[in-house]
Structure 1
Amino acid sequence: MGKEYRGTINITAMGIQCQQWSVTTPHSHSWNSEPSNYCRNPDNEHYGPWCYTTDPTVRWQYCDVPFCVYSKEAKECKTTTLGYEYYGIANTTITGRECQAWVLDTPHDHSNNELPGNECRNPDASPNGPWCYTTDVSSRWEYCNIPFC
């Protein structure tokens, strides 16, 4: 569904320029937390990233965002400080604690249950990058040590 997409595609699949998320013209909306006009999927649209368009007659359209093919090297690193794009297999925290599976609410209850596996991720734009809930009842969550590419 491309919810994790943080690239810079800003044209719809039909070639229309995307409207800035932070403005409400020509189309009004309430998704104004994104400061760009890049394709995103803030509401889990089944067919992936989309955007409001700058064409007053076309409210929104899907974007043609390709699936990524990672090399082993790229898969195990992040390219930005936030690490939105990180989808590697690291599943231990910076202190060595095992990550709790995202679909579980034990030992720590949370609302990020849609993520698969128990790998380090950054679903909430945490400023220090990927993290996870831990399986240790005394430590709710911790950051993970994900290197830059």
Structure 2
Amino acid sequence: MSHCYQIQEKQFTVWQGYRLNNTVIVELSVEVKNINYCASKCVRSPHCNATSYNNLSKACELHRTIYSTIFITNDTDENQYLAIPKDIYTTTNFAETVQFETTEDKSLSTAQETALETSTIISQQKNWTILGVDDCYWTTSSEYSGTISYTTGGIQCQYWDTDSPHQRQYLPIDTTAHDTNYCRETNHYEGCPGCYTSDPAVNWDYCYIVKCDACNVDERLPVVPTDTTYLFHVGKFIGMVFTCDTLSPGTSVDHCPVSQCGSDDQWTTGYSVSCTDEDCYTDSTTYQGKVTCTVTGITCDFWTLKGAMPAGPDKNTNYCRDPDNTGAPWCYATDPNVVWEFCPVPKC
């Protein structure tokens, strides 16, 4: 099965010995292996219109343009490259371009080296790229065959053929991954690629990988409540989390500020927000708001049905709390495959 990270040559024009002028804004600067990786990061960034890459320093810059046309200028540094989507207009004083094959790592068809094998991803930000995730799969998560090897929390995955730092209970369904630390779904059927982590304090976590056409995110997102902003959170499910722009004096009401992209490939519609000064926390152990779901939209379980529980009247509720000083409000989840998750409660 192929996965969805291929920047095909027909999608980008690569300019060797050119630079961008000051009509662009640098959104992100990172160090990557080659121009292919640099271009792939542009595809996965919702604000990137072009990339610049230096073959010596390995510096990759993602750029956002001010104008609809990108202005590029000849540069004497032959190690400097630009990768610009072909559907973006450019203006320059030269017409010569080079192909990906002239770079250090040569053709994009070298998928094993670049991990950019698969079907074409067009330069427009479509489907899963809007979520800002690291990779995707087309059919079921058990068939994911990519090379992402870190979790949503940014922790490197433990190798599947070791018991350090965690004793393995499950192995990937994909037997070819048993000697790697790639994110995979295991024979425990978690519902999303994940891994044991290299952090002794974190046994398991999901990876930032979703279904490529999850909930048609490029065509129909949930209605955003008035005076809120949103971000996406990925676990077993994708949660579109709504956060109030401002908070007013008042008393919190029962609410779940998350629309969930569930297993039926539909966004849930029963979300709501509460925008009072009780709906944020400074000290998570004293938070008194009334959020009743996790960051991925899973309904919280009642505390009396679980081990750890808050003191006082809250023990008979399913409100997010932090009874053990974890650092942020959380709750036990009603999903049988998710023990607990943090809640969509912002800091004050």
Q: Provide TM-score, normalisation by structure 2.
A: 0.20
The higher-RCO structure (CA 8 Å, 6+ apart) is 1
Higher percent of residues as helix: 2
Higher percent of residues as strand: 2
Point out the structure with max Rg over C-alpha: 2
Q: Provide TM-score, normalisation by structure 1.
A: 0.45
